[in-house]
Structure 1
């Protein structure tokens, strides 16, 4: 590749497939000034503050153009239920400054509930209309409430993936001032990353098309859900979406490396309301693979459900928050173990140096009920 690049004419298309002429792209790139830390931080800040409204397109004529800091977790109930007296929760801030501050690791730290689990993804009108069934009504697990949880989780994930694409595009500049061999490595790494992002965004947008249709027709029964009810508020709050590669038995159920095959997604939320804790998994009624995934979860002994979900949330969901009081009550070993859970999903190069210890136990909230909505799954 390096020799091929040397032979390129100034007006030939650049080897990196940018579509630009070589003279406008990678010619003499090794002599350019490298991207500075300040430049990277400035981009990271602007990327995290992008504004959009993820309500269905046909509803956009009603937007008031004022994009708000929308909570993917209810501030009025769920976040306040786990906050300390200063209205802080423990969570991981997924941005470059945090990563630099914590020596390359994602570490839970105190976050004010006004900033926790927020994204600028809805205008004020649609944030109020679409999620009033969650913010203003007691949670009873209605079809509309389960749908709203799913719609909000999906919107946040699309927002994050779009931000990831912008970040990877910015990362193409990271080869400035580097030797040609390093340039090739960086551009190939970004290309592969964007290939995966493209596949994920296509699948998420397809799911969004289905949820937009369900929302506009109010056919919420097309969504299936399982609702775990606990006897007391949970010390954690979660809102996320996943294409699971394996079920809770460890059996492979989807090949995430095969980008030619569409994968199926499940949205999951953990929160508290009026003295109870809830965990809700929701999926399209056509998703047979997700039913299999959920079946493997409900087979777990009742006294192990909370710990299993705890491990799952910290390992699989960036958007996970916990009670500072609960966090402070954990032993050093328990906190270290949670740190390893968080990092288990982001250590790309080689094996993690520290493994998650599944023998570590946590105080469990008592499970009192497992209920299904619009699903034939049986426990």
Structure 2
């Protein structure tokens, strides 16, 4: 991402996502992990592992000076859904996603040497697979960078109205936390939102959760443009009954977001059907070609979650 030198990104510094201490047990939370070695052992299934809150949701993306300046409104103040807070959260989330795409590109270049010792046909297939993955990654990086650049300018110029946000309030804590952004191809019901043509710059939806002492919030943000996919999804969430919103948000982020963390006691208390549904959602679209998750949100499996206590638009 480059050094700071008056800019914002610097590769060897640390920035954190959601404050996970509210859902941690003995300083740890649970997270789904897509480890190739573990998936081979588990018949292709993801593993759920314990991770310390100091190691979770961390990426090395901002110099200390800019980290303090940019995110003081969310690090040193309770999240209330102010426009400047929504913009700061969205910017940090988009930065992490972009940083991850850059890191993924470096990893695939390393993997190109993994064909040594394979048969010629196998070498060709591996290199072709990596080429296809690179094309998808570069397209995603181009889209993320366009949004990231727009948010950077808005942050510098103090123009939080570049974003629209919908904030859901909960009068009880949520047993999971998340932060992520992606380019949605489908809505909650599996309906098409964007086609993903090669020359198309896709729009992202940005989601984050926040925990209070006895409450929680979920913030859904999107660029303030006409017919934004994020707006469609937010309206669908808003139309749901209060007791289904937390479940819908959980299911939706499980398909698309890497940074989803669970209260260990809550997760271990789930029954077989509930855990199987989470496993299905976490695995949706998980293959070497990077397929798009397409599993619709269903409410046939009931998760023990609090009802929404209200919402407001920003």
Residues 1:130 and 1:111: Cα distance change in structure 2 (over 3 Å):
same
C-alpha change, 1:249 and 1:66, in structure 2 (3 Å) is: closer
SS at match of 1:68: coil
| 1:341 and 2:281 are equivalent in the alignment | yes
1:35 maps to: none
Q: Which runs of 5+ in 1 are unaligned?
A: 1-50, 374-379
Which residue number corresponds to residue 305 of structure 2?
A: 364
Once residues 67 and 146 of structure 1 are traced to their aligned partners in structure 2, the CA distance between those partners, rounded to angstroms, is: 25
Matched, 1:181 2:121: yes
What is aligned with 2:167?
Answer: 227
Alignment-derived partner of residue 33 in structure 1: none
CA distance in 2, matches of 1:372, 1:58: 34
Whether the 8 Å CA contact 1:52–1:120 is kept in 2: the answer is no
CA distance in 2: counterparts of 1:52 and 1:152, whole angstroms: 16
Distance 1:346 1:200 in 2: 16
- 21, 28, 34: which one pairs with 1:80? 21
Alignment of 1:130 onto 2:87: no
**Separation in structure 2 between the aligned mates of residue 294 and residue 103 of structure 1, nearest angstrom:** 36
**1:281 maps to which residue?**
220
For 1:101 and 1:221, locate their aligned partners in 2 and report how far apart those are by CA, in whole Å. Answer: 48
Instruction: Return the alpha-carbon distance in structure 2 between the equivalents of residues 246 and 150 of structure 1.
Output: 21
Q: How far does residue 250 in structure 1 lie from its aligned partner after superposition?
A: 2.3
In structure 1, the residue matched to 2:46 is 106
Q: Distance between the aligned counterparts of 1:357 and 1:276, measured in 2?
A: 25
- The corresponding residue for 2:108 is 168
Q: Is the 8 A contact 1:337 1:356 kept in 2?
A: no
Measured in 1, the distance between the counterparts of 2:163 and 2:40 equals 40
Secondary structure at the aligned position of 1:288 is classed as coil
Counterpart mapping for 1:106-255 below 5 A:
106-255=46-195
Q: Which has the higher contact order (CA 8 A, sep 6+)?
A: 2
Equivalent pairs, count: 309
CA shift digits 1:341-367 (9 cap, x unpaired): 1111304589x9xx9975211012121
- 1: CA distance, partners of 2:139 / 2:214: 41
> Partner of 1:282: helix, strand, or coil?
strand
- Look up the match of 1:89: 29
Shift of 1:89: 0.5
Question: Does residue 71 in structure 1 map to residue 16 in structure 2?
Answer: yes
SS state at 1:108 partner = strand
Is 2:233 the counterpart of 1:293? yes
Structure 1, residues 21-68: CA drift from partner, whole Å, max 9, x if none?
xxxxxxxxxxxxxxxxxxxxxxxxxxxxxx866x7x7535xx9x7943
TM-score, normalisation: structure 1: 0.75
> TM-score under structure 2 normalisation?
0.90
Q: Max radius of gyration: which structure?
A: 1
RMSD: 2.5
